[in-house]
Amino acid sequence: MTAIAAPHAGSIETSTRDIDEVTEADGDRAVLRWLVATAICVVVALVIGGVTRLTESGLSITEWRPVSGVVPPMSDADWARAFQSYLQIPEAQDVHRGITLDAFKALYWWEWVHRLLARLVGLVIAVPFFVLLLRRRIRPALQLRLANLPILVAAQGVLGWYMVKSGLTERTDVSPYRLVAHLAVAVVIYLIAAWTAITLRRRVVAMDRLGVTVAVLAFVTILSGGFVAGLDAGKVYNEYPLMGAGVVPTEYGAMGAWWRDALENPVSAQFNHRVMAIMTLLVALGAWRVRDGRGSAEALRAWRWVAIAAMAQVALGIGTLLLAVPIPLAALHQVGALGVLTAGLWAAGAASPPASGGGIHQDGPGLS
Which letter, b or e, does each residue of 174-188 get, where b requires 16 or more Cβ atoms within 10 Å of its Cβ? bbbebbbbbbbbbbb
Rounded distance, CA 32 to CA 26, Å?
A: 10
Rounded distance, CA 253 to CA 269, Å?
A: 10
Rounded distance, CA 324 to CA 234, Å?
A: 7
Phi, psi dihedral angles at 263 (to 5 degrees): -105, -10
| Average model confidence (pLDDT) across the chain | 90
Section 139-165 average pLDDT = 96
Instruction: Write out pLDDT tens, residues 318-352.
Output: 999 999 999 999 999 999 999 999 999 999 998 76
Section 22-36 average pLDDT = 86
Phi, psi dihedral angles at 246 (to 5 degrees): -150, 180
Whose CA is closest to 143, among 133, 155, 153? 133
Residues in the chain: 368
Instruction: Write out pLDDT tens, residues 218-231.
Output: 999 999 999 999 99
Burial class of residue 253, CB neighbours in 10 A (0-12, 13-18, 19+): middle
Residue 204 pLDDT exceeds 80: no
Quickly state the pLDDT bin for 354 (edges 50, 70, 90): low
Q: Which of 142-146, 287-291, 294-298 has the lowest mean pLDDT?
A: 294-298
Q: Which of 232-246, 336-350, 353-367 has the lowest mean pLDDT?
A: 353-367
What separation in angstroms does the CA of 115 have from each of 48, 59, 129, 225, 363? 10, 12, 21, 22, 39
